[in-house]
Amino acid sequence: MARKTTIRNDDEEPDEPKRPTLGGDNAGAGNFEDPNQQRFDDELRPSKLEDVVGQIAVVERLKILLEATKKRKEPLGHLLLDGPPGLGKTTLATVIPRELGTELQITAGPSLGAPKDLLPYLTNASYGSVLLIDEIHRLPPTVEEFLYPAMEDFRIDITLGDGLNARTINMKLQPFTLIGATTRSGMLTAPLRDRFVNREHLDFYTTSELSTIITRNSNKLRTEIAPEAAHEIAIRSRGTPRKANNWLRWTRDFADARANGKITLEVARAALKMKGVDDAGLEEQDRRYLETIISVFSGGPAGVQAVGHTLNIPADTLEDEVEPFLLREGFIQRTPRGRMVTAKALAHLGVSQKSKSKTTKSNSDPPADQRELF
Ligand code: ADP
């Protein structure tokens, strides 16, 4: 098991189908599909478990699992990591094989269109190595079923030929660890979820944890940052390390271009203002989302599909990247009939209850396709 960690990922596969990329500043699923974002992430990713900031309970449990695995010299049990984008799922999945001194292969659900796409990853997996499948909730059912015996018995069933001549060959695999990363554990089928013996949920980070990440990373980027500036960026990073890193890069560029290279509180504020980030960490997209619910749907309830149609943004993007933070901060509520803005959102946007009900009158009858709830 004491092997050097080698990392192989989809970039090496020549004909991989790629998903369209999302906006660069988004903390979102951009990780896997936006090469720039992936490069940024890799540059600042902690390489050891002790460098991972926050997620204390998760890290403690992982330490125990890793110690037990090393002592027993057996592969780690399959692990499912879930949580909103940019919170450290890939980071933990890359740290684990490093800690174990084993190999890591990386792929993603949308790249695996058929069992044959998964086959090389499974046959290449060495004893105790880790296979990370990002966005595992997007695996097609045929690939998912192909994965079951691989996860359970470390074997795969390959069907050769078809019709009367079809025969199934059993192939033994080396025992390996599957790490599934997902932003939507609820979309995983029960049989797949049950095959993960270890499941961990990652939550948003506190401002002080994000400040620590920002300060450490500005050292890595050889940029001087004032503690108040790190705190200011942290407040506006919506609890997400990827966002904090992206804002750090932007304020660093801003400081180089418009100041003397040092990120002071004034520089951080001016840089973030230019990007349209307000003091609650809300961005243009968040404000448009809230304003749409207020003006088109009279404050809600509104179905996410309908809001997505109105904004011309996929409902998935809203659910993954916009709503988790707005929900956590109490700007919206999720009710069985759809999303509703809260008094806090109205106050933040400077919309009075009265003007909201005025809007209600003029928009009391949204078009049929926008009336769809939840
Ligand atoms: P996810 O896979 O959940 O979308 P990533 O693991 O790619 O998120 O994290 C995005 C970036 O945020 C990484 O490059 C890393 O630099 C930073 N990051 C995430 N979690 C942590 C953490 N716990 N401590 C320090 N940096 C982190």
Q: Which of 230, 241, 137, 132 is nearest to 182 (CA)?
A: 137
What digits encode the pLDDT tens for the residues 212-253?
999 999 999 999 999 999 999 999 999 999 999 999 999 999
Is the CB–ligand 1 distance for residue 213 below 6 Å?
A: yes
* Domain spanning 29-201: CATH 3.40.30.10: no
Is the CB–ligand 1 distance for residue 46 below 6 Å?
A: yes
Is the CB–ligand 1 distance for residue 55 below 6 Å?
A: yes
What CATH number is given for 207-274 in this structure? 1.10.8.60
What digits encode the pLDDT tens for the residues 157-177?
888 888 888 888 899 999 999
Q: Which of 293, 278, 74 is nearest to 176 (CA)?
A: 74
354 is catalytic: no
**With pLDDT > 90 as the criterion, what percentage of the chain qualifies?**
75
Q: Residue 3 Cα, ligand 1 centroid: separation in angstroms?
A: 25
Is residue 251 within 8 Å of residue 272, measured between CB atoms? yes
What digits encode the pLDDT tens for the residues 41-66?
888 899 899 999 999 999 999 999 99
DSSP β-bridge partners for residue 131: 105, 178
* Domain spanning 284-359: CATH 2.40.50.140: no
Task: Enumerate the domain spans of the chain.
Answer: 29-201, 207-274, 284-359
Q: How confident is the model at residue 11 (pLDDT cuts 50, 70, 90)?
A: very low
Evaluate if residue 26 carries a pLDDT over 80.
no
What pLDDT was estimated at residue 158? 87
The reply to whether 207-274 shares the fold of 29-201 is no
Positive or negative CA dihedral for 17, 23, 25, 26? negative
Q: Which of 95, 79, 140, 98 is nearest to 115 (CA)?
A: 140
The model's pTM is 0.83
Query: Tokens at residue 166, please?
Result: 């079809």
Determine the Cα–Cα distance for residues 289 and 345; give it in Å rounded to an integer. Answer: 11
Q: How far is CA 141 from CA 117, 157, 179, 188, 271, in A?
A: 13, 15, 18, 11, 45
What digits encode the pLDDT tens for the residues 94-127?
999 999 999 999 999 999 999 999 999 999 999 9
The values of phi and psi at residue 29, to 5°, are -50, -5
Q: Residue 52 Cα, ligand 1 centroid: separation in angstroms?
A: 9
Ramachandran region, residue 127 (left: φ > 0; alpha: ψ -120 to 50; beta: rest): beta
Is residue 355 within 8 Å of residue 367, measured between CB atoms? no
Evaluate if residue 323 carries a pLDDT over 90.
yes
Determine the Cα–Cα distance for residues 299 and 311; give it in Å rounded to an integer. Answer: 15
Evaluate if residue 28 carries a pLDDT over 80.
no
With vertex at residue 149, the alpha carbon angle to CA 146 and CA 153, rounded to the nearest 5 degrees, is: 155
Evaluate if residue 146 carries a pLDDT over 90.
yes
CB environment 32-66: b (16+ within 10 A), e (fewer): bbbeebbebbeebbbeebeebbbbeebbeebeebb
Residue nearest to atom 1 of ligand 1 (CA): 86
Tell me what the pLDDT averaged over the chain comes to: 86
199 is catalytic: no
What digits encode the pLDDT tens for the residues 77-98?
999 999 999 999 999 999 999 9
Is residue 132 within 8 Å of residue 160, measured between CB atoms? no
Half-sphere exposure of 282 (CA within 13 A, CB side): 21
Q: Which of 82, 88, 35 is nearest to 243 (CA)?
A: 88
Amino acid, res. 286: D
Query: Where is pLDDT greater, at 278 or 43?
Result: 278
Q: Residue 270 Cα, ligand 1 centroid: separation in angstroms?
A: 25
Query: Tokens at residue 7, please?
Result: 């990392």
What digits encode the pLDDT tens for the residues 174-187?
999 999 999 998 89
